Amino acid sequence: MAAHARRRGGFTLLETLIALTVVGLVLGNIVMVTRSTSDAYDEEMSKASLELQLDQTLDRIALALMAASASSLQPLVATPAFHSTLSYSQSLGVQDGVVVHGAPERISLRIENGEVVWIERPDEPGERMATWTRSVRELLEGELPNGIDDNHNGLVDESGLAFVIDAGLVRVLLTLEREGAGDRRLTYTRESLVRCRNS
């Protein structure tokens, strides 16, 4: 009876190994779930940030061009041609029966830096410049440098910022791209149609 009364104390080596394995699996799953949730959150934040940047840039361009005189747009090559630079003057109103224009302005793609820049009084003393956005793609989304309209929008090999002029209307196309979570490229494209002033 003395043998039955003696109880064993502690855990065996096998029980300890099983317990450690289960704890390791549980912790591993917690780390994987946390990491995938964090990656998904980072990717969603990157997408939202890029989309906001794209919308704000197109809004700035649209506001600048809405105040521009249609007759001041340069170059004035009609559709289906596109330009990555557009010069214009804003129509300030009429004084003594004459239309008054503001200083010349330019919106341009600087592809080497992937930037859209606005320039007031370009190529003149006192020129002012501001960068409106970065992360501009070299070519519009879906385009390849092959002389073909790859994205089926009526333009061939258009740049990441493209202006298409048709009478007093300016179609603005813009593609931004940057690294997302997990080395994935995030690419977004927007288009805006802007009517310039007739004066």
Name the 3-class secondary structure at 70: helix
The residues of the chain scoring below 50 in pLDDT are: 1, 199
Is residue 31 in a domain?
no
17 found inside a domain? no
- Per the structure, the count of domains in the chain is 1
pLDDT the model gives residue 97: 84
Do the domain assignments include residue 78?
yes
CA dist., res. 94 & res. 17, Å (int): 88
| CB contact at 8 A, 141 and 151 | yes
Element (H, E) at 47: helix 13-66
Using CB atoms within 10 A of its CB, is residue 138 exposed (0-12), middle (13-18) or buried (19+)?
middle
161 assigned to some structural domain: yes
Range of the domain at 82: 52-195
pTM of the shown model: 0.75
Q: Does a structural domain hold residue 24?
A: no
Asked whether the beta carbons of 114 and 97 are under 8 A apart, the reply is: no
What's the pLDDT score for residue 59?
94
pLDDT at residue 7, rounded to an integer: 61
